[in-house]
A and B are shown apart, each in its own frame.
Chain A
Amino acid sequence: MPKTLAEKVYDAHVVRSAEGEPDLLYIDLHLVHEVTSPQAFDGLRAAGRPVRRPDLTMATEDHNVPTLDVLAPIADPVSRAQVEALRANAAEFGIRLAPMGDRDQGIVHVIGPQLGLTQPGMTIVCGDSHTSTHGAFGALAFGIGTSEVEHVLATQTLPQKRPRQMAVTVEGELPEGVSAKDVILAVIAQIGTNGAAGHVIEYRGSAIRALSMEARMTICNMSIEAGARAGMIAPDETTFAYLQGRPHAPQGADWDAAVEHWRSLHTDDGAVFDTEVVLHAADLAPFVTWGTNPGQGLPITGRVPDPAEFADDHERRAAEQALAYMGLTPGTPLREIEVDTVFLGSCTNGRIEDLRTAAELLRGRRIDPNTRMLVVPGSVGVKLQAEAEGLDRVFTEAGAEWRGAGCSMCLGMNPDQLAPGERSASTSNRNFQGRQGKGGRTHLVSPSVAAATALTGRLTAPADLTDAPATAGV
């Protein structure tokens, strides 16, 4: 029987299947960070259980870490205690940890691919909803809660219900200035923040196949913002080229055997999706959010919507609440919204290509004097690469701040936060109320919109920039 990509990976990992019970699924890689693991390790200790496969488990420090003075002890005692708990647990249970200061440290979803630990056809979990990022390689990767973290630590398996299958097909060529971030924001605006509930999304079509691995990761990363259990893209030559030579990628004969298997990981002709969504690449534009969930977005050429125009009661009330929180008036052109802070980073857009895209626009220009811009590489590896390319100097010469690696301003768990009422353009994944700091107001954008916005101080698409860089052509 023809199968989808997700079904192939799922079926290859079923340890046990019985009528009336969830399937037991084997987990090939378990990524761990400091926030969602301490209670899981406590559970193991209380029951006297070891970690079944420490060799398939990798931990790092990301959510709580400051991005300034990264080698100093964390000033916040509560954050420090959480990070220290992870260090103690990793040592006690024999798990590899990339701590602050380590060259492999970074956001958990950035380091997995960077190290070559993320490979096609694997099952990957982490106590973090953006684990869907790893699906860009054709892995089945999903976020789990702390009880499940404990379950995977103890058994290397998870009870699972077979997911439903959704195809999101994007055909055609993306217009200039339209990125993976704009594609996924458009998808979420179309299907809603829980529109893919119960489903694994497979992103397909010529526009997806044309994307780099890092752009594919941006798309899969935000699958959870559409409510999906996971997002996947079939592996291809782009995937293999990205993986080859990475520290944990197979080598020699193993590489050949792996690639042969990986080539079979695609949806068969005739396989059936439960739900299908189609977008035309040529119709897409740079997207920004105006509200307080990632589905409340529009092309940047639009205006703040009038809640009265929403037919659905819940959507209308949600829009009213969102505009009240965001301090926005219906009818305002999105490009007239002034921002205080621009955040470039996160597991969505904190990789080297994202930094290159932004640096390209900032080179030879100065950001708006009333706007601050934080540039936060997703990992130490990304930071070192960017510095080798001189991108750090492009950012600092433009007036932006160049920081250490971490989750940073994506979520208010570390010192990088918005003040109450402060407005940001952010390349992260969530514009929920208070997500970037109590009372903070978030507009989700792509890296190029972030850079253009930093230059003008209001939401701006790169095509809107009229000035020539001071060192044009360099």
Chain B
Amino acid sequence: MQPFTTHTGTAAPLRRSAVDTDQIIPAEYLKRITRTGFEDGLFVAWRTNEPDFVLNRPEHAGASILVAGPDFGTGSSREHACWALLDGGFRVVISSRFADIFRNNSTKSGLLTVVLPQADVEALWAAVEAEPATPVTVDLQARTVTHGDTTVPFEIDDYTRWRLLEGLDDVGLTERHLADIEAHEARRPPWLPTALPA
């Protein structure tokens, strides 16, 4: 995946809570068998039905940082939600709380998910609504988000940060532990099923 070190861009304020994966990309857009091209499904219902939807407003065109309400990414396990955001030009999503699977998927696909306290999210919303061209910098090295004179820290565990900074894929890392995997396989109880035709 593409490494993430630091990113500066404009932000789109998405003032909605519990944005589920069916809103990020509906199921009918999951039929593609490639790993790119999912931007057509990104928030497609809201983009189509709500002229005033934040991503329809010209002042937020080109935003690369999405600032969302709490519980972003609830619902399905579709990594396509991360791909759609990346394909739609986003590198970062900021929220006070993410759904687990979405957040886990983001770390595998190179989309940075940043958890900030809701008060910091509100301040960021206010800043980019007042001045949509406000540059926002998300620095994974320093673990900070900066807009104007405001810099706030965010937490991310060292291991996930390292993987994102290096753009590492997990399979290669796991293959270093082949001996441990083989040792576990030798210990597995004999009654465990196989999927081979019974």
**Which of A's residues lie within 8 Å of B, judged by CB?**
13, 15-16, 20-22, 24, 26, 28-29, 35-36, 38-39, 42-43, 47, 49, 55-58, 63-64, 76, 78-79, 81-82, 85, 95-96, 115-117, 119, 122, 127-129, 131, 143-148, 150-151, 154-157, 159, 192-194, 197-198, 224, 227, 229, 247-250, 254-255, 257-258, 261, 293, 314-315, 317-318, 321, 411-413, 430, 432-435, 438
- Determine which of A36, A159, A257 lies in contact with B79 in the assembled complex, contact meaning CB atoms within 8 Å: A36
For the complex, what is the distance from the CA of A254 to the CA of B189, rounded to whole Å? Answer: 9
- Are A318 and B17 within 8 A (Cβ)? yes
- Are A147 and B181 within 8 A (Cβ)? no
Residues on the A chain within 8 Å of B170, using CB: 147, 151, 159
For the complex, what is the distance from the CA of A148 to the CA of B109, rounded to whole Å? Answer: 10
Count of chain B residues with Cβ under 8 Å from any Cβ of A?
A: 61
How many inter-chain residue pairs (CB < 8 Å) link A and B? 207
For the complex, what is the distance from the CA of A28 to the CA of B188, rounded to whole Å? Answer: 9
With contacts A35-B30, A151-B174 taken as known, whether A435 is within 8 angstroms of B18 at the C-beta atoms is no
With contacts A145-B104, A147-B170, A321-B16 taken as known, whether A55 is within 8 angstroms of B74 at the C-beta atoms is no
- Are B18 and A293 within 8 A (Cβ)? yes
- Are B78 and A413 within 8 A (Cβ)? no
Which residue of the partner chain B has the closest CB to A83? B31
Selected interface stretch from B2-10, B93-101, B124-132, B148-156: B93-101
B197 interface residue (CB < 8 Å to A)? yes
For the complex, what is the distance from the CA of A205 to the CA of B26, rounded to whole Å? Answer: 37
For the complex, what is the distance from the CA of A319 to the CA of B45, rounded to whole Å? Answer: 18
For the complex, what is the distance from the CA of A115 to the CA of B34, rounded to whole Å? Answer: 32
B20 interface residue (CB < 8 Å to A)? yes
- Are B195 and A63 within 8 A (Cβ)? no
Residues on the A chain within 8 Å of B77, using CB: 36, 127-129, 131, 143-145
Residues on the A chain within 8 Å of B191, using CB: 250, 254-255, 257-258
B107 to chain A, nearest CB (A): 9
- Are A145 and B198 within 8 A (Cβ)? no
B27 to chain A, nearest CB (A): 4
Cβ contacts B50-80/A at 8 Å (1 or 0 each): 0000000000000000000111001111111
Residues on the B chain within 8 Å of A254, using CB: 190-191
Which residue of the partner chain B has the closest CB to A432? B22
For the complex, what is the distance from the CA of A453 to the CA of B78, rounded to whole Å? Answer: 32
For the complex, what is the distance from the CA of A151 to the CA of B107, rounded to whole Å? Answer: 14
- Are B174 and A24 within 8 A (Cβ)? yes
For the complex, what is the distance from the CA of A117 to the CA of B192, rounded to whole Å? Answer: 9
With contacts A197-B99, A317-B16 taken as known, whether A119 is within 8 angstroms of B193 at the C-beta atoms is yes
A144 to chain B, nearest CB (A): 6
- Determine which of A20, A96, A317 lies in contact with B196 in the assembled complex, contact meaning CB atoms within 8 Å: A96
Residues on the A chain within 8 Å of B35, using CB: 39, 42
Residues on the A chain within 8 Å of B99, using CB: 194, 197, 227
For the complex, what is the distance from the CA of A76 to the CA of B105, rounded to whole Å? Answer: 29
Can you name 16 A-B residue pairings with CB atoms under 8 Å?
A15-B184, A24-B174, A28-B188, A36-B78, A38-B33, A63-B27, A78-B31, A96-B197, A119-B193, A143-B76, A145-B104, A148-B105, A193-B71, A194-B74, A224-B101, A411-B22
Residues on the B chain within 8 Å of A85, using CB: 33
- Are B101 and A16 within 8 A (Cβ)? no
A9 to chain B, nearest CB (A): 13
In chain B, positions 159-198 with a C-beta closer than 8 Å to chain A are 159, 169-171, 173-175, 177, 180-181, 183-185, 188-198
For the complex, what is the distance from the CA of A132 to the CA of B53, rounded to whole Å? Answer: 34
- Determine which of A143, A147, A318 lies in contact with B108 in the assembled complex, contact meaning CB atoms within 8 Å: A147
Closest 3 CB pairs of A and B: A145-B79, A147-B108, A145-B105
With contacts A28-B192, A194-B74, A317-B16 taken as known, whether A156 is within 8 angstroms of B181 at the C-beta atoms is yes
For the complex, what is the distance from the CA of A119 to the CA of B191, rounded to whole Å? Answer: 10
- Are A26 and B181 within 8 A (Cβ)? yes
For the complex, what is the distance from the CA of A247 to the CA of B180, rounded to whole Å? Answer: 31
With contacts A194-B74, A197-B99, A413-B28 taken as known, whether A56 is within 8 angstroms of B195 at the C-beta atoms is yes
A302 to chain B, nearest CB (A): 21
- Determine which of A24, A58, A147 lies in contact with B180 in the assembled complex, contact meaning CB atoms within 8 Å: A24
A414 to chain B, nearest CB (A): 9
With contacts A22-B159, A36-B77, A117-B195 taken as known, whether A412 is within 8 angstroms of B26 at the C-beta atoms is yes
- Are B79 and A26 within 8 A (Cβ)? no
- Are A433 and B22 within 8 A (Cβ)? yes
- Are B100 and A430 within 8 A (Cβ)? no
- Are A56 and B78 within 8 A (Cβ)? no
B70 to chain A, nearest CB (A): 6
- Determine which of A227, A255, A435 lies in contact with B22 in the assembled complex, contact meaning CB atoms within 8 Å: A435
In chain B, positions 1-49 with a C-beta closer than 8 Å to chain A are 15-18, 20, 22-23, 26-28, 30-35, 45
